[in-house]
Structure 1
């Protein structure tokens, strides 16, 4: 069994601590989320998550091939049919004023880094496919879904933070959050792995067709 170098372990602990403190001060600070994930990168939990993800043959093939699509051009996607995944994706990002490359860049050097990059690239597509919104309940529901499908440790961290924040600041919200989290987790267990999909190769496919094929309807 390989052991982490003490210096690497210290750097990881510092990155996690910095991210946790920043997230506590400002839960909307996305950069603190990436700091925590950077610290968790070489953890045993992340290694187990990679093994779990690659247990699906189709996902393992995509990981091995290092499939990465060009950054989407929203103006081009808005020319697609209005029921297509491409149009729905571009319209939702345009309406919200989001940048498709909002995420922190990560160099692909192994399976774990590739998986993290792919999850960051397709986060907003997952919102569309699952039907979870971008409000607090929707984000936590999606994180529960992601936890069921990937075992990604960051998903568990964000679920924990979200519930703790609600408990301390808006306890009445738990009545909505808990069922949504449960729904997301169960949905993740019974649907096809979203990480195995090459969304960008079929932007023209209707969103509802994607959802049906992946087990979200019917």
Structure 2
């Protein structure tokens, strides 16, 4: 991003006066070697969330600011900021979510989060531990919304929290919010999984490619009214968002079961990390 572009973004405001890009927010720096070092760290322990954050920080997307401006300064973005100002409060209110009809996205979300011992607030806390400075701008709103919708991606796509499931979710996300960080962790991670499952016949690379295609074909989840989607039947939401069954991912699990491979043992730790999915 040129200095003139940056200056222009600092002069754009939402109707309520919130600036698009705070002038004090540091410019992102492209540091591929730092990204590679942290990727190696992540492959040793896929629960090292700090390494995930550093990968994304080191590989900033050139179209990140235009993408934020397109949503945040639109009428839809304004509605979302007014009705869903802080998604963690909505997503962690399981009592309210459970009052939606059975079979809803909300019920599936609660089932997933409770089974995995996760919470939206927990992901916020992981993000806060990185020490990243916060700024009162629309970039912050977009980053937060990207992070807070991550676990919904798991529910909507059908990808689990095993290493292949996380790689698939990242490539689905790249299809929606492109960044080199998604590509690095997604495809290089899948290659490492294939290497770890020596001699496997599971279509690992085919599975992540399918996830990538699905993400490209689906409308951006970040721009959807999450509160409304939560109340609707899960299958209906998947159809609306054009998200088909993850057939190759499930085939991988079927093959691994036959081969005696535990998908949670394909990288160093037993559970995958929950990365803050921002494309900064």
Same topology, TM > 0.5: yes
> Which of 190, 203, 214 is residue 241 of structure 2 equivalent to?
214
Give the aligned partner of residue 45 of structure 2.
26
- Structure 2, unaligned stretches of length 5 or more? 7-25, 246-280
Distance, in Å, in 1 between the alignment partners of 2:79 and 2:37 is 34
Q: Which has the larger radius of gyration?
A: 2
> Which of 193, 209, 216 is residue 182 of structure 1 equivalent to?
209
Give the aligned partner of residue 120 of structure 2.
100
Asked if structure 2 preserves the Cα contact closer than 8 Å seen for 1:50 and 1:111, the reply is no
Cα distance change on mapping 1:199 and 1:35 into 2, 3 Å: same
Cα drift, residue 162 of structure 1: 0.7
Asked if structure 2 preserves the Cα contact closer than 8 Å seen for 1:78 and 1:87, the reply is yes
SS at match of 2:159: coil
1:91 matched to 2:111? The reply is: yes
Cα drift, residue 32 of structure 1: 1.7
**Normalising to structure 1: TM-score of the pair?**
0.77
Cα distance change on mapping 1:77 and 1:175 into 2, 3 Å: same
1:82 matched to 2:102? The reply is: yes
SS at match of 2:215: helix
Cα drift, residue 29 of structure 1: 1.3
1:2 matched to 2:29? The reply is: no
Asked if structure 2 preserves the Cα contact closer than 8 Å seen for 1:53 and 1:149, the reply is no
Deviates more, 1:20-29 or 1:197-206: 20-29
Distance, in Å, in 2 between the alignment partners of 1:185 and 1:215 is 13
Distance, in Å, in 2 between the alignment partners of 1:10 and 1:143 is 21
Give the aligned partner of residue 69 of structure 1.
86
Question: How many positions carry a matched residue from both structures?
Answer: 211
Cα drift, residue 194 of structure 1: 1.4
Distance, in Å, in 2 between the alignment partners of 1:59 and 1:175 is 44
RMSD: 3.5
Structure 1 stretches of 4+ moved >6 Å:
7-15
Cα distance change on mapping 1:196 and 1:10 into 2, 3 Å: closer
Give the aligned partner of residue 47 of structure 1.
62
Give the aligned partner of residue 36 of structure 1.
55
Cα distance change on mapping 1:52 and 1:215 into 2, 3 Å: same
Deviates more, 1:129-138 or 1:166-175: 166-175
SS at match of 1:205: coil
Distance, in Å, in 2 between the alignment partners of 1:13 and 1:165 is 19
**Normalising to structure 2: TM-score of the pair?**
0.62
